[in-house]
Amino acid sequence: MKKRFYILYILLLMLSINTSCSSDGKNPDIPGNTPPISYEVKSDIQLPMSIILNNIPDEYAAFKGPMTSALAQRENDLRQETGNPDIQLGFRKVTYLYPSKDIDDGDITLSAAACWLGYFNNGVWNDLKPENICLMEHYTITSDAEAPSNTFALEMFITGNALTIMPDYIGYGITKDIPHPYLNHDVCAINSIDALSVGYELFNDKSKNGMHNSWKLYIAGASQGAGNAIAIHKFMDTNLELAAKWNFASTSCSSGPYSPVVTIDKYFTDGKVVYPVVFPLVIRTMFDSYPEIMKGFTEEMFYSQNYLAIKSEIDGLIEGKRHNTSEINQVFIDKVRKTVDANLAENEIYLTDILSPEILDKESPICKALYLCLEKNDLTKGWSPTHPIKLHYSSKDKVVPHENSLAIHEAFGDGVVTLEPSPVSADHTTTCSLWMVELFSKGF
């Protein structure tokens, strides 16, 4: 987000924040509420939609036109329904803390955001009745300022009239001082389902109008969020009673690492990468999540001498949670890339500049250990989905190879998986942005 948007957000937060003590759950029909759950509200903000739209960053300008038009129509409809020409459409965002589990199945408190539409009538806030629930998984972040509890993530605005739940994940928000378990799909799925259960209860406590009777649950996400979304889908479809209680409908994703094995294989085959920060993120997670597999190895054994010279700097940037992925990737380009030639695009880097010869040898013990960890998060195996999956992707995506989407389709077939190739030749970011536009305009 642009700096001015953060400043505006902080000022508005200071002016309109409401705090709450913990609240016991009161809805035993929703899984996760037995025994009764509790949460703590950290902020409760209601803003006119015009303020938010006017501060959409320039890089997302393509959204502003269609979003403004659609929301203006909804605002006009409300004015006609109420007979009040002065109604202002608004957006309510509640950030909250909730209990979940860490990578060792221990207790942990995490943060998330619950968002829904409403309107101001003569200065008084009124909640709209959401038509659906969307559990929205955010893309890869390395700056805590990008966490859903800390900003107005763009994904919050593409779900229509829905109660949108966005978890921060472990490592961001309230847990910013501990590592994020990147591509540990299982733990992220559990954390997200817990956020959903608590967010639903919070909405019931805070909203005066409740949900539409016919609401359904949709899961969505782009990039890393797409991988987490399919992991949640897997959890639902391997616990069908849970899926039924949540009225689970379908999942819509864009450009996700559904198979880390396929992703790393593609990087190894190409011998270069445009998203080098993926390696320290993944390797740290594998050591933290699967110590029994990684026993006998060290992180340093994964890297080239060239990279080890600045490893501490990269680690500091990741652990500090103050720099986004683009900024950290640029450090790789500036300080790690040794060769620029005709075979490298401006933002590419050779794997040999980052990784040790041992890890690049698929027959080596250390490489086999890495693949064992990756296979534990391969969402193309070990289950059979029953609810529909829509996968948006681009064959030109160099960050998350489109072979991930093809692997899901090959595993589960046309009966469940719908492939939606990008209508234009697009890179990773553009592909995810096009998916957001499509989800906003066409719905789930």
Once rounded to an integer, what is the mean pLDDT over residues 97-114? Answer: 96
Q: Rounded to an integer, what distance in angstroms lies between the CA atom of residue 63 and that of residue 271?
A: 35
What are phi and psi for residue 432, nearest 5 degrees? -65, -40
User: Higher confidence at residue 73 or residue 368?
Assistant: 368
Question: Who contacts 247 (Cβ-Cβ below 8 Å, separation ≥6)?
Answer: 215, 216, 217
Crossing angle between the packed helical segments 365-375 and 260-270, to the nearest 10 degrees:
140
Once rounded to an integer, what is the mean pLDDT over residues 375-404? Answer: 96
Q: Is the omega angle on the peptide bond into residue 260 within 30 degrees of 0, that is, cis?
A: no
Three-class SS string for 247-299?
CEEEEEEECCCCCHHHHHHHHHHHCEECCCCHHHHHHHHHHHHCHHHHCCCCH
Q: Rounded to an integer, what distance in angstroms lies between the CA atom of residue 67 and that of residue 436?
A: 11
Whole-number pLDDT of residue 66: 77
Once rounded to an integer, what is the mean pLDDT over residues 344-360? Answer: 94
Instruction: Give 62's pLDDT tier (boundaries 50, 70, 90).
Output: low
Q: Which of 255, 194, 197, 235 is nearest to 385 (CA)?
A: 235
Q: Tell me what percent of the residues of the chain surpass a pLDDT of 90.
A: 74
Amino acid at 37: I
Instruction: Give 30's pLDDT tier (boundaries 50, 70, 90).
Output: very low
Average pLDDT score, the chain: 89
Distances (CA, A) of 434 to 40, 160, 409: 35, 16, 21
Instruction: Give 5's pLDDT tier (boundaries 50, 70, 90).
Output: very low
Q: Rounded to an integer, what distance in angstroms lies between the CA atom of residue 329 and that of residue 314?
A: 9
| Model confidence pLDDT, tens digit, residues 214-271 | 999 999 999 999 999 999 999 999 999 999 999 999 999 999 999 999 999 999 999 9
Whole-number pLDDT of residue 64: 73
User: Higher confidence at residue 60 or residue 407?
Assistant: 407
Predicted TM-score (pTM) above 0.75: yes
Once rounded to an integer, what is the mean pLDDT over residues 301-311? Answer: 96
